Structure 1
Amino acid sequence: MSSFVYVVGRTSHIADSRCPETSSTILGVFEDEEEAYRHAAEGQLRYIEEMIANMRESDDEDVENDESPRQKVARIKSMESWEEKFDAAIDLLSELLPESMYTPASQFGNKDSEGDAIEGYKQPPEQLPAIAGLIQRNSGTLERLTLVRYRDVPSVALWKSLSQCRKLRRIQVQYGLVSLQDMEAFWEACSKTNELFLDKMDLAIGTDSPTMFLPETFPKLRYRNESIIDKGNPEGLARLHRQQQLEQEQAFRQLSRLTRLRGLDISDPDGRRQSLKFRLKSRGGELDQLESLKRLDWIQFGNAFQDLSENELDWMIGHWPKFVGLHGKYHEDES
């Protein structure tokens, strides 16, 4: 039995390896398909129930004798198989989410259709279960696949996803991360296509990586733009760290000149990355440079996770007279 790839969404928009309990997505590769469906369905239903809990009462009431969302969830839970529950949860999610945020399953056809296209992984993290389910469901007919911002997903799942799709003609991967251990299988999975686009790909290698180099020419490669993250090269890591530190220093130095600044929003609209590190210099940050922002009222982190200690919070209160607070996730300890 081939491995089944699934993704379970959570409500948090934060994804950081240091606090996995708040990750926006959890992905697993299972040999037992029923177990994978169980994990996927349970995660999807949890997210839907939280969505319903935040809905206005009028949105959850019966409309012309139709089922309310809560009644639909109860009916889904009573279904016999986890695969049925997962499919029904995907359909319910498509009803609840605004059209602008969700690509309906109907656009992807079904197993009987002649060719399919899924241009997914651009959607909010909570919709990844539906997209992963669609890939699995349409793997026999899928011809075009676009994977964008796949960086939070283990690369073993990337090539397994591609391997399941036997009729793929075009693959586009943007902002992806592939470990060197999985590169050979990744190239093999891509070799069936007519067109391959790799944009902003990172290749993670380490001391335990096999000796292997990317082919300089790949017959079906149409576009290529990747960088190497060498986890096993101390000099390379040190150079990368110095470059990142310099960028932080420059950014905070420029911010320090904005002495009339009253509000600062550093949310990352494209992903769930930590960008500027609002930590004191003693903890590897550059917060000390912002002492000049005497008019600053608030900071919005949004989905740009921060790891602040009480020292940083005390510093902000002590140096910014008008400061009223932070908005967003700034520490994994909710207290």
Structure 2
Amino acid sequence: MSEVMIYGAAGYTGRLCAEEFVRAGLQPILCGRQEAVRAVAERLGLKSAVFDLNDPGETERQLKGVRLLLNLSGQFLTTQKLLIEACLATGAHYVDLAGEVEDTSNAFTFDNQARRANIMIMPGAGFNVAPSDIVAGLAKKKLPDANELVIALATDGGVSRGTLKGMLSHIDHPGHRRVGGVLVAARPAETELEFQVAGRRFRAVYDPWLGDLFTAGVSTGIANISTYSVFPGLAVAMMKGRLLWLRDLILNHLMPLLPEGSSARQLRDGRTFVVAIASNGRTQERVALIGPEAYRFTALCLREITRAVLAGKWSPGFQTPALYGRELLEGMEGVKWD
């Protein structure tokens, strides 16, 4: 049995991750709910298993001997609970790509159980949280008395159908802002932010769903956190409640016609931009980076977190990627500090 299991390996991100692991000399077992995962595993020369998470006994049986489970299957509010409970029962560490507030905060509810079971639970291990959580932690180190944190993201590249479907399904729904250590209601695109990374200027809008609103609260302890992302103009209009007929048209009719994810060129040439600005009301400290294309960045983060866990570098209970600090990103292909 492999020491690493990838659940959701037949999806776009799952396949990219599996391919990256093989290039790195890792041999995960590829799993999922559909038979399509077997074809991916056969192409890569890996073992595979197909099982439904609604059978806890079977899930636990499949996890026997596994040291680390990577949950790359969407609908994290559903898959997260079932797989974390199986990890608690079998002693496997749990890592996923949950990138929104509800998902990351839900994983935190298992903190005490994970400590008792001596396993690590780490949501947000992909681009949407990991790099920004790390730069947020570095900004806090530069300004230990910071009481405000702003995080902003921008991407050059494509978007997978799964990501687009998830975003459009709630694009006009309220989210959160962290104020005084408490998550309060906030509207999408309610404010704007201009920021600069490596000489490029960006105009972002408020993104009230980003998991950093929860994870950075845990990792930095900063009481006031705001998160911004750069979106296309049509998406910003939908966030403000306009053009929702177009949202419905895409979700109900056009989704199957869209590319499955980033093209080979986008994966090669795409870039990501992340900045965290910590403030204490008198002084600001800024940490920023340029990274590879978002889905490629996700696969690389998962690769490095996996290597760390297998090397014994982990801590029990709920953890955020800031646990690994700058070291996780040092030397990673395509990462440059600004």
TM-score, length basis structure 2: 0.27
Q: Which has the higher contact order (CA 8 A, sep 6+)?
A: 2
> Which protein shows a greater Rg?
1
TM-score, length basis structure 1: 0.27
